[in-house]
Structure 1
Amino acid sequence: MSIHVERSIRIDRSPQELYQFWRNFENLPRFMNHLESVKVLDEQRSHWITKAPLGNHIEWDAEITQDQENELICWRSLPGSNVPNEGCVSFRSSEYEAGTEVKVTMDYSPFGGMAGAVIATFLGEAPDGQLYEDLWRLKQEIEGGNTAL
């Protein structure tokens, strides 16, 4: 079973600034509440630790599959992951408004399969809602000047 999640938000910064901030994956736990840490292993690989329902933790390694500077970053988990996942984040200037549209598209197989997905949703950890909240926190942090880009 795979879950598809897609969300976007407009942030009042340039695609270059947002790409650089996101490309340093160690920044992601600053606004993604479910992430405990991301450790960059090399230019292509990183190690992720995330919070799971009922106080558990899940770890996996991921690799970048596509990297277009200032435009797009795509990734996938490496074989053997407890939570197989893949996705992309894109950074596009708006034709009609100032700022950049940040769009995240992700597919993943939840830990524990369908039962794990149901439990997570019941506990208020639905992936669509989490992603929306994560992007909103990113917008607040970046636009609020709480972070150096």
Structure 2
Amino acid sequence: MTDMRDDAPPATAKHGSGADHAGDLALEPNGDSLVSRSVTINRPRAELYRFWRDFSQLPTFMDNIVRVDVTGDRTSHWVVAAPGGSTVEWDAEITQDIEDEAIAWASTDGAGVANSGRIEFRDAGARGTVVTATILYDPPGGIVGKAVAKLFQREPAVQARRDLRRFKQLMETGEVATNAVNRQQHEEEIA
């Protein structure tokens, strides 16, 4: 019989579900699909932690988040864009908060998308801070819903990569680069 154990980091393990590895990441087991992405940002980790800890700021760089309403010291209400122009909502609670190091959260019972996650901030020496986002979720509609979300670029693996890249841009330059034409540019073009 073949040994099916996998000694890879939990987010890259080939065997078992995301929920099987949730404990390895100090995540609540809310979901079965595990996504993890990292980026190095040339800013101090305390600054990055403080920005992220104010969840109401997340829509400034997270493309699919419509809004996050902070409802208490450890609670929030999330409204997220879904494929087809609809939205999904849920309440979340912070399950771990280590200042300047990590924030973990989990959706509460009855969430439109069961999920939990963790954001970690680790020193990268003169290069700044390594920021790692790990998300465990149940895609609405199961495997079909996951395929549709991927088609519409709303799948968490795609979004996590893009959101971290935008977070890096915002924190290093003060803005998120875009190729979209803003209103002023459009008015100048037609004048």
Q: Taking structure 1 as the reference length, what is the TM-score of the superposition?
A: 0.93
Q: How does 1:32-111 map to 2 (within 5 A)?
A: 32-95=62-125, 97-111=126-140
Higher strand share: 1
Q: For 1:46 and 1:125, how far apart are their aligned partners in 2? A: 21
Is the aligned partner of 1:119 residue 2:144? no
Aligned to 2:189: none
CA–CA distance in structure 1, aligned partners of residues 152 and 171 of structure 2 = 29
Structure 2 counterpart of 1:78, one-letter code? T
Query: Which runs of no fewer than 5 residues in structure 1 stay unpaired?
Result: none
Matched with 2:59 is 29
- CA root-mean-square deviation: 1.4
Matches of 1:76 and 1:45, distance apart in 2: 10
**Equivalence for 1:139:** 168
Between structures 1 and 2, the one with greater helix share: 2
In structure 2, the residue matched to 1:11 is 41
Q: In 1, Cα distance between the equivalents of 2:86 and 2:80?
A: 9
Q: Distance in 2 between matches of 1:61 and 1:133?
A: 23
Cα deviations by residue, 1:52-98 (Å, 9 ceiling, x for unpaired)? 00001000000000000000000000001110000100001014x42
- Determine which structure has greater relative contact order: mean sequence separation of CA pairs < 8 Å that are 6+ residues apart, divided by chain length: 1
CA change 1:119–1:146 in 2 (3 A) is closer
Distance in 1 separating the partners of 2:165 and 2:175? 14
The answer for the alignment partner of 1:130 in structure 2 is 159
Identity of aligned residues (%): 43
SS at match of 2:62: coil
Q: CA deviation at 1:128?
A: 1.3
Q: How far off is 1:114 after superposition?
A: 1.7
Distance 1:74 1:47 in 2: 15
CA apart distance, 1:127: 1.9
